[in-house]
Amino acid sequence: MSILKREFSKLIDVCLEKEVDKVNSDKYRLKYHLMPPIGWLNDPNGLCQFKGEYHVFYQYSPFDANGGLKFWGHYKSKDMIEWEDLGACLYPDTPHDCHGVYSGSAFVENDRVYFYYTGNVKHVGSYDYINNGRGHNTIMVTSEDGINFNDKKVLLENIDYPSNMTCHVRDPKVFKKNDKYFMVLGARDNNHKGCILLYNSDDLEKWNFLNTISTNEKFGYMWECPDLFELKDECSGETKSILCISPQGIEADGYKFNNIYQSGYFLGNMNLENGNFDFGEFIELDRGFDFYAPQTFIDEKGRTILTGWMGLPDIDEEHYTNPTTKNGWLHALTIPRELVLINNKVYQRPIEELRKLRGIYISRELKSTREYNELKGEVYELDIEFNNDIDNLKINLKSDCNISFDKNERTIKLSLGDSGYGRKTRSVTIDRLNRLQIFSDTSSLEIFVNNGEEVFTTRVYSNSNNDKINISGNLEDVKINMYELGEYKYV
Ligand code: FRU
């Protein structure tokens, strides 16, 4: 163990001892979402299933709930319900990653996990840290057990990237197709146009640059956390490539692109021979206030599972706040969602494992009602199916959160009051409302519209003990299932 790693590890232990009780007694700690044990969390990293076990790594700043020096934290699980907290695992302890072990991915092959991440380096001096003064190194580290790591190997440095790139080239995601390995990196070029660099390799170590992929028209100045995978359309049977990115620098456009930064995907066909991608429209993955930097992995059952960061970078008082920082922690990951492609649209569905959390169950069929207010709860899954065309609907929960649907405007709207801490409204246009699945945790909501056609993810911090759920509208032929949800277990 390097001296630096030993010292960091001691320091984390000291902080944990000092902070962990305060953190764990916060009423806003979540019950079924992965959170930092103390301090700050951002992107999910290195998602994989290895020898039956699921591994979730994440961007972790244990020393500061407002962010700071990044490590990788680690959780592992056999069923994504019972977790082992393995704490900080990759440390910023070499000259090539001394200012942060930034985001990256995992690739599993032949009893080994290959991790790729960005080593962040900020040179001392007066630099803008965009065009100069910053090192973004692509580093590989392997593991035979998913827990202990071999030595870090620097594979690419800024000098190796195409010469028209700024210093911002990061977040490697590696995958295999037709016996060849590929890597995508998110980047900002010299014209401050967001793009992706595509590499290929025969041995997972030596990477050859293939192409820069970007839209004809500039679409933001930086594309973070790229992901490239395929899904077979359940309607047409056609296999499509999904190029997922978190672009920065996109202007709001009506209901679209309302957050500081976005996350979504382009549907198209990826030609891995010449590196060309034919871009379709960019579609946002989430319509709520707190979603960024999602990553997918394919599990041993063949499911494509996506997890996002339930938060956003560079959010300040002008946008909205999170009261948990004063209790020593901030942010969480979303629940894992299985992705399916239906009619050229990616749908997100809560993974079926979450059913294991279900407890007390209430089921109702409403034939013709204006208002239904028998339900209450804090941590639950509420599933509402509308068999008839509903033309107006309002659901009030967590005291001042409202979810509404208006048939004339064809919009679903989420509005938060004081409990939003500055989060106000987000909307999306849909054709028809068939189903709403609301996953409520102590301080979060994930709302799946029409079997995951649209999703709203948000943090919400209710101060009142009002846990009533009120549903009103032309409730004709409406089926309601509500389950109390239990907690993730930690071993
Ligand atoms: C996305 C991101 C990544 C970077 C990481 C640093 O939220 O900015 O591009 O690798 O976070 O924590």
What is the C-alpha to C-alpha distance for residues 200 and 180, in angstroms, rounded to an integer?
7
What is the C-alpha to C-alpha distance for residues 170 and 151, in angstroms, rounded to an integer?
20
CA of 67 to the centre of ligand 1 (A): 11
335 and 371 fall within a common domain: no
What is the C-alpha to C-alpha distance for residues 449 and 433, in angstroms, rounded to an integer?
8
| Secondary structure element (H or E) that encloses residue 27, with its range | none
The model's pLDDT over 375-384, given as tens digits with 9 standing for 90+, comes to: 999 999 999 9
451 and 340 fall within a common domain: no
Q: What is the DSSP string of 130-146?
A: SSSSEEEEEEEEEESSS
Q: Is 327 in the pocket of ligand 1 (CB under 6 A)?
A: no
Q: Specify the ligand 1 atom closest to the Cα of 224.
A: 9
336 and 446 fall within a common domain: no
Instruction: Say if CB 490 and CB 390 are below 8 A apart.
Output: no
Instruction: Say if CB 305 and CB 339 are below 8 A apart.
Output: yes
Instruction: Say if CB 294 and CB 224 are below 8 A apart.
Output: no
426 and 331 fall within a common domain: no
Best residue for ligand 1 mutational test, from 40, 41, 43 (most atoms within 8 Å of Cβ): 43
The per-residue pLDDT string of the chain (491 residues; one tens digit each, 9 = 90 and over) reads: 789 999 999 999 999 999 999 999 999 999 999 999 999 999 999 999 999 999 999 999 999 999 999 999 999 999 999 999 999 999 999 999 999 999 999 999 999 999 999 999 999 999 999 999 999 999 999 999 999 999 999 999 999 999 999 999 999 999 999 999 999 999 999 999 999 999 999 999 999 999 999 999 999 999 999 999 999 999 999 999 999 999 999 999 999 999 999 999 999 999 999 999 999 999 999 999 999 999 999 999 999 999 999 999 999 888 899 999 999 999 999 999 999 999 999 999 999 999 999 999 999 999 999 999 999 999 999 999 999 989 899 999 999 999 999 999 999 999 999 999 999 999 999 999 999 999 999 999 999 999 999 999 999 999 888 999 999 999 999 999 999 999 999 99
274 and 382 fall within a common domain: no
CATH number, position 409: 2.60.120.560
Cα distances (angstroms) measured from residue 186 to each of 68, 173, 262, 321, 488: 21, 9, 14, 28, 33
112 and 227 fall within a common domain: yes
What is the C-alpha to C-alpha distance for residues 439 and 294, in angstroms, rounded to an integer?
18
Q: Which domain holds residue 464?
A: 359-490
CATH number, position 40: 2.115.10.20
Task: Note the pLDDT of residue 2.
Answer: 85
Q: Give catalytic status of residue 145 as yes or no.
A: no
Strand, helix or coil for residue 354: helix
Task: Note the pLDDT of residue 318.
Answer: 86
Q: What's the domain count of the chain?
A: 2
List, in sequence order, every beta strand (DSSP E) within 71-221: 71-77, 82-90, 101-109, 112-122, 134-143, 153-156, 165-177, 180-189, 194-201, 208-213
Task: Note the pLDDT of residue 169.
Answer: 98
What is the C-alpha to C-alpha distance for residues 272 and 269, in angstroms, rounded to an integer?
9
Task: Note the pLDDT of residue 331.
Answer: 98
Instruction: Say if CB 50 and CB 300 are below 8 A apart.
Output: no
152 and 78 fall within a common domain: yes
390 and 293 fall within a common domain: no
Q: Is 103 in the pocket of ligand 1 (CB under 6 A)?
A: yes
Look at residues 350, 371, 388 and tell me which one is the last residue of a structural domain. 350
What is the C-alpha to C-alpha distance for residues 121 and 447, in angstroms, rounded to an integer?
38
The model's pLDDT over 230-262, given as tens digits with 9 standing for 90+, comes to: 999 999 999 999 999 999 999 999 999 999 999
171 and 300 fall within a common domain: yes
Look at residues 330, 350, 370 and tell me which one is the last residue of a structural domain. 350
Look at residues 298, 316, 350 and tell me which one is the last residue of a structural domain. 350
36 and 151 fall within a common domain: yes
Q: Specify the ligand 1 atom closest to the Cα of 292.
A: 7
Q: What are phi and psi of 158, to 5 degrees?
A: -55, -35
Instruction: Write down the catalytic residue from 26, 43, 227, 400.
Output: 43
Instruction: Say if CB 394 and CB 402 are below 8 A apart.
Output: yes
Q: Is 171 in the pocket of ligand 1 (CB under 6 A)?
A: yes
Cα distances (angstroms) measured from residue 46 to each of 173, 290, 311, 341: 9, 21, 18, 23
Nearest to 90 by CA among 55, 53, 129: 55
Which residues does 456 contact at the CB level (< 8 Å), separation at least 6?
Answer: 286, 287, 288, 412, 414, 426, 428, 445, 446, 447, 449
Phi/psi zone of residue 187: left (φ > 0), alpha (ψ -120 to 50 degrees), beta? beta
365 and 283 fall within a common domain: no
